[in-house]
Structures are given as C-alpha cells and as structure tokens.
Structure 1
Amino acid sequence: MRQKLRLLLLSGVALATALTLSGFAQAATAEPKPATEDAVKFEADDANSFSGAFLAARTADVDHDYASAISLYRKALIFDPANLEIRERLMISLLLNGEFESGLKEADALKGDAAVERITRIVRGLDAIRDGKFDSARKILAYDGPNDLDRLTHQLLAAWAEVGGGKGKQAMATISGLKGPDWFKVFTDYHLGAMALVAGDVNAARKSLNNAVTNRDAVATAPDTFMRAVMALARLEASAGNKQKALDAISVGDELISNYAPLKALRQSIEKGEKPVQQVTNAAEGAAGVLFSIGGALNRQGAEDMVALYLQVAHAMDPKSADTLIMLGGIAEKLENPQRAIALYRQVPADSPMRRISELQLGVTLSDTGKVEEAKQHLKALIESDPADIRSYIAYGSVLSEAKDYKAMAENYDKAVEVIGPVPRPADWTVFFQRGIAYERLKQWDKAEPSFRKALELNPNQAQVLNYLGYSLVDMNINLDEGLDMIKKAVDAKPDDGYIVDSLGWAYFRLGKFEESVTELERAVQLRAGDATINDHLGDAYWRVGRQLEAVYQWNRALISEGDDVNRDHIKDKVEKGLPPIDPNSTTADRSTPEPAAPVPPAPAPENPDKKS
C-alpha cells in the first residue's frame, strides 16, 4: 500500500529517537486508555451523580477535551470534595488546557500528595522563580531521588533559581559537577551557556555553547535543544562583533539539520549586520527552557499528554517563546485538535523568526478543518511573499494533495523544482517525491518515474520512496524484480510499518506468489489493525490459497474498518461471489482483482524528513 503520511512541518525540529530516560520515559510513553465506541459525552449540567460526572470527565479527558473535563471534574468534586484522584486529574487538565494559575492553586492544595509530587513540585517551584522568590524555589525543587531525568530536571531548574538570585557562578559550578548518563551533556552544555549569558560571563557562555554545538549526539537526542544552542552561539558572536563566527555557527546547524527556517531568518539578520537579542534573558525564561528541552526530547507517539504538560507550563513562564507554541501546535494536531493548533500558531509573535513556520503550518491545518480554499489562498500568499522558500511549496502541495487536485499539485512542484535549480540538495528529495506522486496520479508515468528516481538519488534509503516506486513498478507489471527489491528494501528499513509490509504482501499477490503474500499480509494486519485496504488484500490472498471462509471474514472486516480508499461495492461483490478464476493469459501478475485507489501521502516534514512520519 502507498502509505498516507501526515504532514507535520513543525512539531519541533524532529521527534526524539531511541531515547531511554529511565522510569519517567516509560510512563510518558504509556498509551492512554481508549474511549469506548458507545461512550457518551455529557455536559456538566447533565451529570447528576458522582459516577455520571466522573465517567463523563474521564471520557472527555481521554478525548483530550480538557475544557469539558475540567467542568465535569469540578462537578464530581461537588459530590465528593475529598476525592484525591479527581482533584489530581482536575489539576492536570487545567495545566493541559493552559490554565496555569488555576492549576497552580490545585498544585498548592496537593503539595503533600505523593502521587502527583513530580508535577506539583515543578509547578510550585516555577511559580516561585516567576515571582522572584529564588530561595523558596530552590527549596521546593530540591530532589534526591533515583530517577535520572527527574534529577536532571530539578537540578537545572534549581540552578536557574540560583542564577535569578545572583548566584550564577554557584549555579554553573553545580551543573558542571552534575554526574549522570552521557545524554545529560546535551542539556547541561546548552543551559550552562544560557546561564553564563544571563550572568554576563561571555567567555564561559562561548565555551559551553561551542561544546553543545559540536556535540553530534545532540542532534539525535535533543534536536530542539541543539538548535537553541546553535542560535544562542550565533547571537553571542554577532553581538560581540564576530560576524563570520556567527555565520559559521549557523552553518554547523544548517549542515546537521537542514531547512530550519528560524536559522535562515537568523542568518539573514546577521548578514545585514544586526545583533539579534538572546532568547533567554532571565531566570524565568531559562527555567521555561528546561521544560522545553525535556519536553522536546520526549516528544514521541504516546507521550503527547506528558509533553504537552511540560510545554504548557513552559509557555506560562515564557509566553513569547515561539518554538514552544509551535511544538504545542504540532501536538494538538497529532491529537486531532486542529482548532487548538490554529489558536496556538496564531499566538506566535509577528516579529519572531518562527512566524513564517507557524503561518505555513496554519495553512495546512486550516485545510484539515475543511477550509480548503482559505488554506490555498493563505499558502499561495506565502509563496508570493518569498518564492525561494521551498517549504511553502511543500505546504501548498500537501493541501492540493488532500484535495486530490493533482494537476495543480504537479504545477506547484514543477515551480519548486525550478526554484531548487540544477543542483538539488539531499533535503530536496521530498519535492521530487511529491511531484512524482502528482504525475503518477495524472497517469503520466513518463514524468512520474524520473521524479521518483531523482528522489531516490537524493535519498537512496528513503523507505516511502522505495515503497511507492517499487509498488508502482509491480502494479504496472514492469521491472518486476527491481520493484520487488525496492519494496523489500523499504520493509528492511521499516519492518514495523504495516503499510509497507502490506505493499510487499500485495506485490507477492500480483506476482502470483500467494503463500508468500498471505505470510506478509497477515503480519501487516497485525501491525496496522483495522485498516480496510489491508483487510481487503488479506481476504484476496486467503481466497487464492483456498481459505475461502477466512477470505470472506477479512472482506467483511474491510467493510466495517476505517479507510476511504477502498471500493466497498467491489468488496461486497467479492463477499457474495468470491474472486473469479485467474486469467490463464496473464503473464506474471494476478490481474483478476483491481486494487482500490491508493491514498496519496502528503509531504513529510522537511526539517528532518528521515525522522518524521
């Protein structure tokens, strides 16, 4: 199957990869309990008992409808004021909804509750820093437990309290002597540099930030923190009159994480001779940066609530932080709350280097809410305002893809290729990939294939390109061996991707290798349960190996499963009649069963395409 990808331009620089941070990470990545299909949403006024209010609140909570959850938890507390579990969930819902002051009141009331001590200590400590009560903050944030991540977080926050209290050298000495696993250094180097800048020690700041920028491990472990370090060092050098050193720092960042729009804006500012101000200028902003650093590193599938909690508290401490707003917007999109995402993107300050990023993602998200024409006009205006920004074409192309306007999509990416010029960079693979998809959908294979092959030339191991091109070759019964090899290579790169495994199974089916097809499609169904197309494919494979009852079961599953890209009338016909006999005149592939139209994948995120899906 040609996988449908979700365009997320901007939920941080990149999702963290392979970061194991002791017990906290395991808790952060726990899957939330799904709501039942027959769950009913209640308004607070409709909940006339404790159980009614509580169950409705939990349903709203699981659905990430925090405003409703807050009302319903408060209603439940009327029936049972002493219920600690309800009060704990109320506090968390308030913080997740961005209501810091109300969440703070609950945190004060729960400060002796061991179940939420991790949260209440941080919230109360940050409030003390914000109010300039630095000694109180240090006492609140004291931590001597065994969890490495908690120890790092609390030590960094307490050190920022010391910086706020005028004890910058003491704070930096504490962090410099902090012992822990290797990944600590990613965070300590950046925050040591930021602390030194706030304390006025330029030489110490330069040393620590250089350490952060030359730490290649930081790119994989905490890319958002790495980019903050790059930009802080560039601003430091520009302010000191070292223009070339500032540009050199930017070049290091651009080499390791290409197409990062704020870095481009900072480069342009420094090239003009400007001296941009630092992002962190006081203890409150520094403390907010700690939660941004940790939240960004933990930003992965299943951890959205915990990451959003950290980021919402960071936002309360530093409301102007654009990267925090943008990462929160990306999380809201992943949680399928586009209206919240739009509101967050619109809060990014107009003078921020990240404003254009937020505008691009805003356009894509408008399309998600059904405002397709508004999204098109918004993104076309952004292209006109900066025709050299490839990211604009990718965002606009994503909207056109969702709208199935493949002619306009092809024209859009043709313009993007013109802008790229004769020597594309590896990061430009996604432009050629999307142009290939547009022409393939227009049934102009003579234009599609060169684009796919160019994308592979730029990024030879990109699984989505290998899958799409390989599947297309097999489906058209041309270059079969090459196509099958491409799909196998894609599966090797992403063995747990149900869509790509489905491609391999379906390729075997097309080639008449039905036993191999069953093996792969059974695995695909396990990896991606409830997908109509995969269930349909497995039904076909079962039928060909003589397992008719199981085939009908899978086809019926396809009829009730998710997916708009299957021909349900055709599936109903198969349930009634089965598959026709194989055409004896067919050369290699089984041509008796037309494949449903495959979904078109919107562009993956251009900041770090290999790490997003």
Structure 2
Amino acid sequence: MATPGTGWIGSGSMTRAHAAPAQEDKSVEVNIRSFAAAFLAAQTADAQFDLASAITFYRKALEFDPTNERIRERLMVDLFMDGRFDEGIEIVRSLEADGAVDQLRDLALAVDAMRRGDYDKAVDHLDTASTNPIDRLLNTLIAAWADAGAGDGAKALASLESLEGPPWYPVFTQFHAAAIAEFMGDIAKARQIYQTAVTDKSTGSAAPDTFVRTVMALAALEARQGNMRAALDTLALGEEFSPGFAPITAMRQSIKNNDLPDLDVTDARQGAAAALFSLGSAVNRKGAEETVTLYLQLARALDPENAATLVTLGNLKETLGKREEAIAIYRQVPKDSPMRRISELQLGLALSDLGNHEEARAHLKALIEADPSDLRSYLAYGSVLSSDEDYEAMAETYEKAIAIVGAVPSRNDWNLFFQLGIAYERLKQWPRAEAALQRALQLYPNQPQVMNYLGYSWIDMNINLEAGMEMIQAAVDLRPNDGYIVDSLGWAYYRLGAYEEAVQELERAVELRPADPTINDHLGDAYWRVGRKIEAGFQWNRALIHEPTPELEAEIKAKLKDGLPPVEPSPSVPSANGEPKTTPRAPEPRAPATGSDDLPEKTEWRPLRGNAAHFG
C-alpha cells in the first residue's frame, strides 16, 4: 500500500491529484472520440473525486485500449472507492501481478474470501510480513480474524501477541485480541486484555476511535457478566477520554436500564471490518482521502450496516464536497443505532451546505423537538441559523439551550455561550455579547476562539486595549497555525495604527490561509499603509480571485480604483454605542492534528460548524 496521500497506483500520471479543490458532484461533459480524451476526462473527474464520472470515462478509455493494465487498475480503485465491490473484484481477478497494486488486490481478494466464509483462502492472500508498518498491521489483524472464523482462536491470538512494530500497535492489537477471545468464548482472557488496553491512555491518542471502542467493549462485557458497577466505572474512563461521545452516553443509559449491550463483534467478517475501520479512522487526515475511503468501503463490504463506518464515510464525503452522497450514506445508518442521531445532525448540516436551508432548518428543528435535552441539536440548528444570518433566531436558540443546561453549566457547555455571544454581537447588542463571551471563558479558560473574538472586539471598540491585545496574542500562542486567529492579531495591530506589525502578522496569516479573501484583503490594506502600494494592489486582486462576498468585492474594487483614504486620527474614546465596527474572525472549529511516531496524523472529524456533533 502506498503511504496515505500518494494514491494506490504508485507515482506518475495515474496518481490522484489530491490538491484539487473539493466540488459538488458534476459529471464531466466531454466529447469522447479518442483514448486521450477519455483518459484526460477520467483524470479530471478523479481529481474532483467524481467517482461515477471517472468510472464511466475509464471504461470508455478501455474501449480504445482494452489491454491497458494501468487504466484497469485505476478503474478497479475507483470502483472500490465508490462502494461497488462486486464490480471491482471482477477486475481484480483479471489483473496480472503488479507490485503497484499488490496490497489492494490481495486485500480485496481476502475480503472477498471472507465474505464467502472461505477463511483459509483469505489468510493465503494476506502478506503479514510486509515491510510497510500499516500494511503489516492491517494484514495481521484481518488474518487473525480469518483464523478465528476458521475456529483457530489460539493461532489468531498468538499472531497478535507476537506482532512487533511501532509503539502505537498495541491500541489496535489489544482491542482485536480481546474481541477475538470474547468471540471464541474465553471471557477471562478477553477481560484481561481489555483491562490492559484501557489503562494505557497514551497509546489511545494514536487511535481515539479504537481506544473508545475498547472501553465500550469492556463495559459491555462486564454488563453481560452482571458486573454493572464495573461496567459503569469503565464507561467513566471513556467519558474522561472523550467527553460527550454519544454512543458512550447511550450505553450508560442502557446499562442503567438493565438493557444489556449486544456483543460488539458477532462473526469474523465483522471483526475484519472493524480492523479496516480502525486503521481507516486512524490515518484519516487531509491528503489520505483515497486510502481512508478504500478502507471504509472495504469495511462496508464486510459489514454493510455498521453505523460507525457509515457516519465516518459520510463525513469524509462531506469533506470532499460530495454532500449528496454523504446524505445518502447518513440515511443508511440503522434507526436503532446510537449513532443514528449523529447521522441525522450531520444530514441536516449537509442539507444546509447544499443550499437547502429551509429543509435543513425543518429537519434540525424536528430533532430538537424530538429530544429537547440533546444540546448537539441546538448547536447544529444554531449553525444553520448563523449561515442564514438569522441572528435573532440564533440567539433565541442558544438561550433555550442554556436554559436546559441550568444554573450550573459545565466546561463542555462553553460553546453554547460562545455562539450566543456571536449572535448578540451580530445583533449589535454588545453588553449581552460581552457577558456571554466572558461566561464562555469562565467555563473554559484560555479557549483560543473565545479569546480571539472577545479580544478583537475590545480593540475594535477602542476599549480594554492592553487586555485585548494580550488576549489575542495568547490565542495565537495557543493556536499559532490558525490563520484566522493570526489574522485577528494582524488586523488588531492595523486598527491600532501599528502597520509594520500588522504586515508581519498578516503575511503569516496569508501563508496559513492563502485562499481566504478577507485575509488577503487585510494584507493589502496593511501594505498600502506602509507605502507598498503595488503589493497592496496585488493582494487585493488575489482577494478577488478567491470569491469574496459581494460586499467585500465592492470594497476591494473601490480600493483598486482609488486606494485607501488618508489615515484618520485614532479615536480616544469608544464608539458612541459601544458596538464593534468590524466583525472579528472566528477560526475553524477543527482541533489541531496530532501525530504519534510514524502513524499518520489523525485530524478530528468535523465538529461541523459550532461543534454540532462530537465523534471523539
């Protein structure tokens, strides 16, 4: 397997262009009269992750050149990524040996064998001695489940216990070894391995999804054995590691109601699917979309109704701009799954992103009415209201959510107050906005988004200048690679007339967010003020290229025509009504990526706009 981000077909012209911008599904229309035209059309569709069109064009290319193995390989990859396993496996069987696709071909053949229950054949296809650490781990995990499916649990456990590799291996091997022991009926062995795994949170950070799944599997085991106190104490470990994770909350309630959880993995096929999901979620980051999609779709071929796989795949489709595909996947999450509500929240946000605002609002409002105690619903609905600039309804929504929280909100509730503060700031009700932002910081001291917003607002109103600058600088120190927060620091310097310092920070912000029109516009203004007028024009033109809002576009065009007016004397008093003049920039609500040894970095899945849903 190629390392994530480099494609599954090696280097050269057949590799996916990951740098291409994500777009909605649009079939490429081209008059196909030659192999070259079909091939170029397929690559264009491939670069946009328009799999349906790419498959059509690769098949057309094969009509012109039926023996072209590279085209057949790429077609195979796209079929698997599009969830069309049966079509992809037909191509696999016809491919000659090619080192560029050995891992994918053999993995697909192993999955096919397991689907048919031919576990011995599945093992034959897996290279458990691969020099690639991820391939070696994945192949060993699937081979272990095949051995377990064939009835040889001792061999399966021995292969996992003897596997040597990087320090992040145990979080995967221990979960699967314990699950295999439980699957084979050795409860004592399963408990012992699970307990060892959940006590090592340091390795859990390498694969949060697998660590939390281990915690839940142990809790479920204890509950089925009648050890309810031990089950609830185990879930507390998961809640500490991943606060607010919906499936843990659902399991806790089920156990309290004496509704015993089912066995997590009931057959070897589900176990192999869990292995694919484990690695797919662990390597999930920008640039690895192709690898992650393949892992998830192969997992789906083995376990079609697995909710975690479906939700994660739906999120990935959204990241790639394929929202209609994401919505279709979210609708497939089983209605009795604890993940169903998460899928419904994501579905509502995807509808909004597609421009179906009324449908999105109705969908999310219905979720609130169905369960008024679920705060995630308010965050999702508030996010859509914010996109619609319906700030009165947004403020009302967050006030209702805060009322549900009650008089003693927790640290996890900080975002409700943050979003309420944003709503009141947009409504030009600054005293209410300031109070909400201050409350958010009381609940979550040093939260960089809140510090950025509040500090900038103070500076923009020419009040609390020293405290405001210190707050923004502290936010930058906490999130030095967040272009929006760095932009706020640069723009704060600009507002205070410190133009040289503004240029320095805004140049860094543009490096971090080169395609943001507002940041480019800000840098253009700063260049103008320090006398670098040619560079100012260049930045303003760059801002226009990146599709600014109509209002900003008009302002930029005016500046390109006439430049900036002379600097007015800095005001010595706050604005008359105590309201900010310029909206502070809020950073993306995505957590910074973290890595572990040579395991590819894991970037947290979308707490999509306003932390509407939390995946741990």
Q: TM-score, normalised by structure 1?
A: 0.91
> CA 1:612–1:237 in 2, change beyond 3 Å: closer, same or farther?
closer
Once the 2 structures are TM-superposed, how far is the Cα of residue 108 of structure 1 from its aligned partner? Answer: 2.0
Q: 2:18 aligns with which of 23, 27, 32?
A: 32
> CA 1:362–1:87 in 2, change beyond 3 Å: closer, same or farther?
same
Once the 2 structures are TM-superposed, how far is the Cα of residue 357 of structure 1 from its aligned partner? Answer: 1.0
Structure 2 counterpart SS, 1:200: coil
> CA 1:234–1:35 in 2, change beyond 3 Å: closer, same or farther?
closer
* Structure 2 residue aligned with 1:59: 44
Please tell me whether residue 97 in structure 1 is matched to residue 97 in structure 2.
no
Q: 2:264 aligns with which of 261, 273, 279?
A: 279
Q: Distance in 1 between matches of 2:22 and 2:353?
A: 25
Q: Distance in 1 between matches of 2:485 and 2:198?
A: 36
Per-residue Cα deviation, 1:64-102 (whole angstroms, up to 9, x for no partner): 110111010000011111212211110111011110111
Q: 2:101 aligns with which of 86, 106, 116?
A: 116
* Structure 2 residue aligned with 1:496: 481
Is the Cα contact below 8 Å between 1:329 and 1:341 reproduced in 2? yes
* Structure 2 residue aligned with 1:152: 137
Please tell me whether residue 322 in structure 1 is matched to residue 301 in structure 2.
no
Q: Say which is worse superposed, 25-34 or 474-483, in terms of deviation.
A: 25-34
Q: Say which is worse superposed, 540-549 or 510-519, in terms of deviation.
A: 540-549
Alignment of 1:510-589 (within 5 A): 510-564=495-549, 566-584=551-569, 586-587=571-572
Q: 2:330 aligns with which of 345, 348, 352?
A: 345
Q: 2:438 aligns with which of 453, 476, 501?
A: 453
Q: Distance in 2 between matches of 1:236 and 1:379?
A: 35
Whichever residue aligns with residue 311 of structure 1, its letter is L
Whichever residue aligns with residue 340 of structure 1, its letter is E
Query: RMSD in angstroms over aligned alpha carbons?
Result: 2.7
Alignment of 1:290-309 (within 5 A): 290-309=275-294
Q: 2:418 aligns with which of 433, 455, 458?
A: 433
Whichever residue aligns with residue 198 of structure 1, its letter is F
Is the Cα contact below 8 Å between 1:466 and 1:486 reproduced in 2? yes
Is the Cα contact below 8 Å between 2:460 and 2:582 reproduced in 1? no
> CA 1:246–1:434 in 2, change beyond 3 Å: closer, same or farther?
same
Once the 2 structures are TM-superposed, how far is the Cα of residue 460 of structure 1 from its aligned partner? Answer: 2.3
Please tell me whether residue 411 in structure 1 is matched to residue 382 in structure 2.
no
Q: Say which is worse superposed, 600-609 or 168-177, in terms of deviation.
A: 600-609
Q: 1:475 aligns with which of 460, 468, 481?
A: 460
Per-residue Cα deviation, 1:288-345 (whole angstroms, up to 9, x for no partner): 0001000000111221121011001101100110000000000011011110110010
Is the Cα contact below 8 Å between 2:128 and 2:137 reproduced in 1? no
* Structure 2 residue aligned with 1:395: 380
Q: Distance in 1 between matches of 2:572 and 2:294?
A: 58
> CA 1:512–1:206 in 2, change beyond 3 Å: closer, same or farther?
same
Q: Distance in 2 between matches of 1:599 and 1:499?
A: 6
* Structure 1 residue aligned with 2:407: 422
Once the 2 structures are TM-superposed, how far is the Cα of residue 493 of structure 1 from its aligned partner? Answer: 1.8
> CA 1:598–1:505 in 2, change beyond 3 Å: closer, same or farther?
closer
Q: Distance in 2 between matches of 1:145 and 1:462?
A: 44
Q: Distance in 2 between matches of 1:459 and 1:511?
A: 28
Alignment of 1:2-401 (within 5 A): 24-25=3-4, 27=6, 32-34=18-20, 42-43=28-29, 46-110=31-95, 112-401=97-386
Whichever residue aligns with residue 336 of structure 1, its letter is G
Per-residue Cα deviation, 1:28-59 (whole angstroms, up to 9, x for no partner): 7997143799xx96447x31110000000011
Per-residue Cα deviation, 1:92-146 (whole angstroms, up to 9, x for no partner): 1101111011111122223611101111111111111121111111111133232
Once the 2 structures are TM-superposed, how far is the Cα of residue 23 of structure 1 from its aligned partner? Answer: 7.2
Q: Distance in 2 between matches of 1:224 and 1:277?
A: 19
Whichever residue aligns with residue 18 of structure 2, its letter is P
Whichever residue aligns with residue 3 of structure 2, its letter is F
Q: Distance in 2 between matches of 1:157 and 1:126?
A: 9
* Structure 2 residue aligned with 1:10: none
> CA 1:421–1:595 in 2, change beyond 3 Å: closer, same or farther?
closer
Q: Distance in 1 between matches of 2:485 and 2:326?
A: 30
Per-residue Cα deviation, 1:537-563 (whole angstroms, up to 9, x for no partner): 111111111112222222222223233
Q: Distance in 1 between matches of 2:273 and 2:233?
A: 28
> CA 1:603–1:398 in 2, change beyond 3 Å: closer, same or farther?
farther
Number of residue pairs the alignment of both structures matches: 587
Q: Distance in 2 between matches of 1:36 and 1:103?
A: 24
Q: Distance in 2 between matches of 1:596 and 1:78?
A: 58
Per-residue Cα deviation, 1:247-304 (whole angstroms, up to 9, x for no partner): 1111111111011111111111111111121221111000000010000001112211
Is the Cα contact below 8 Å between 2:457 and 2:584 reproduced in 1? no
Is the Cα contact below 8 Å between 2:488 and 2:585 reproduced in 1? no
Q: Distance in 2 between matches of 1:231 and 1:222?
A: 15
Structure 2 counterpart SS, 1:34: coil
Is the Cα contact below 8 Å between 1:501 and 1:523 reproduced in 2? yes
Structure 2 counterpart SS, 1:489: helix
Q: Distance in 2 between matches of 1:159 and 1:519?
A: 55
Q: Say which is worse superposed, 220-229 or 292-301, in terms of deviation.
A: 220-229
> CA 1:33–1:394 in 2, change beyond 3 Å: closer, same or farther?
closer
> CA 1:285–1:243 in 2, change beyond 3 Å: closer, same or farther?
same
Q: Distance in 2 between matches of 1:598 and 1:52?
A: 48
> CA 1:302–1:479 in 2, change beyond 3 Å: closer, same or farther?
same
Per-residue Cα deviation, 1:418-477 (whole angstroms, up to 9, x for no partner): 111222222211111111111111111111112212222222232222221221111111
Q: Distance in 1 between matches of 2:564 and 2:133?
A: 58
Whichever residue aligns with residue 415 of structure 1, its letter is K
Once the 2 structures are TM-superposed, how far is the Cα of residue 507 of structure 1 from its aligned partner? Answer: 0.7
Q: Distance in 1 between matches of 2:559 and 2:375?
A: 45
In the alignment, structure 2 segments of 5+ residues that lack a partner are 9-15, 591-605
Is the Cα contact below 8 Å between 1:111 and 1:120 reproduced in 2? no
